[in-house]
Structure 1
């Protein structure tokens, strides 16, 4: 296939745009690296907080409904380097987690982020709601965690379950 002089003009124009774009990117100063904990602390200030585990569960129950007497116990994580969270079951496979300290929240956040199992999570300032249905190979809980995040000022996220690399 032979390219004529007419066909070269559009190709040359594309290379000029690509070249200028890369110059613009290279001329911008590099952003200063930020620590993850700093970003999480700033994000936490924007999210709602609760005075206790019970008040967090009540707020969650108003939005997505919680069982009066859940049929399961919380899946309680071991002490995470001395930081502990408090847990209550909202519904089968869905639990509410509340943190007294930022260290406990960060440890729990890291534990879920490194999960080898898929999880659906809503994070607030000092609380978290975790739906473990998919991780346990169970039917969906039917709880709308996206609506919960929006209503309570939390952050919705899905951990795909690939774990750390």
Structure 2
């Protein structure tokens, strides 16, 4: 099995990506990106994503329609882009729910995308390097939050 697919499965497992109803702060007022390529270039331009972690974006879909795409920036930091804000909020809620007493989940987000650092909560996660998520949020004019 391709390592990127395994990583996707790990995130889905770690975050319970079953797309449960979201109850977080709306982000419609935050600017959006038009594609996964756009958001990846913006994040990569600020933090230098690891070439070994990137691979091709993985398409995600809900039961009715395509939902978005996902790709890794580092071994523990994932970039997610969505076609609709509703799907973004559902996935963000699922990612935030991965936080537990042993660690936090760090999220940088805008209207239809977010970057999530799961290094503290993913079992056997050994980040290849740390990314300062707060600085990334400031550089991208995005919201920064810590769940957990």
Query: Over the residues paired in the alignment, what is the CA RMSD in angstroms?
Result: 2.7
In the TM superposition, 1:4-83 aligns within 5 A as 40=26, 43-45=27-29, 47-70=30-53, 82=64
Q: Distance in 2 between matches of 1:73 and 1:131?
A: 19
Post-superposition offset of 1:93: 1.1
Q: Provide the TM-score with structure 2 as the length reference.
A: 0.68
Post-superposition offset of 1:73: 8.7
1:114-154 superposed Cα distances (whole Å, 9 cap, x missing partner): 33443111111111001111112534541111111001111
In the TM superposition, 1:1-165 aligns within 5 A as 40=26, 43-45=27-29, 47-70=30-53, 82=64, 84-117=67-100, 118-136=104-122, 137-140=124-127, 141-160=129-148
Regions of 4+ moved over 4 Å: 71-74, 76-83
Q: Provide the TM-score with structure 1 as the length reference.
A: 0.61
Query: Closer, same or farther in 2 for the Cα pair 1:135/1:61, shift >3 Å?
Result: same
Q: Distance in 2 between matches of 1:148 and 1:70?
A: 18
Post-superposition offset of 1:78: 7.4
Post-superposition offset of 1:112: 2.3
Q: 1:87, 1:95 within 8 Å by CA — same for their partners in 2?
A: yes
1:78-124 superposed Cα distances (whole Å, 9 cap, x missing partner): 75564623101111111100010011011112212333443111111
* Structure number having the greater helix percentage: 1
Which structure has more relative contact order (CA 8 Å, sep 6+)? It is: 2
Q: 1:80, 1:107 within 8 Å by CA — same for their partners in 2?
A: no
1:16-63 superposed Cα distances (whole Å, 9 cap, x missing partner): xxxxxxxxxxxxxxxxxxxx67x50xx432x23211001100100111
* Structure number having the greater strand percentage: 2
Q: Distance in 2 between matches of 1:71 and 1:57?
A: 9
Specify every segment of 5 or more residues in structure 1 that has no aligned partner in the other structure, as ranges.
Answer: 1-35, 161-165
Specify every segment of 5 or more residues in structure 2 that has no aligned partner in the other structure, as ranges.
Answer: 1-22
Larger radius of gyration: 1
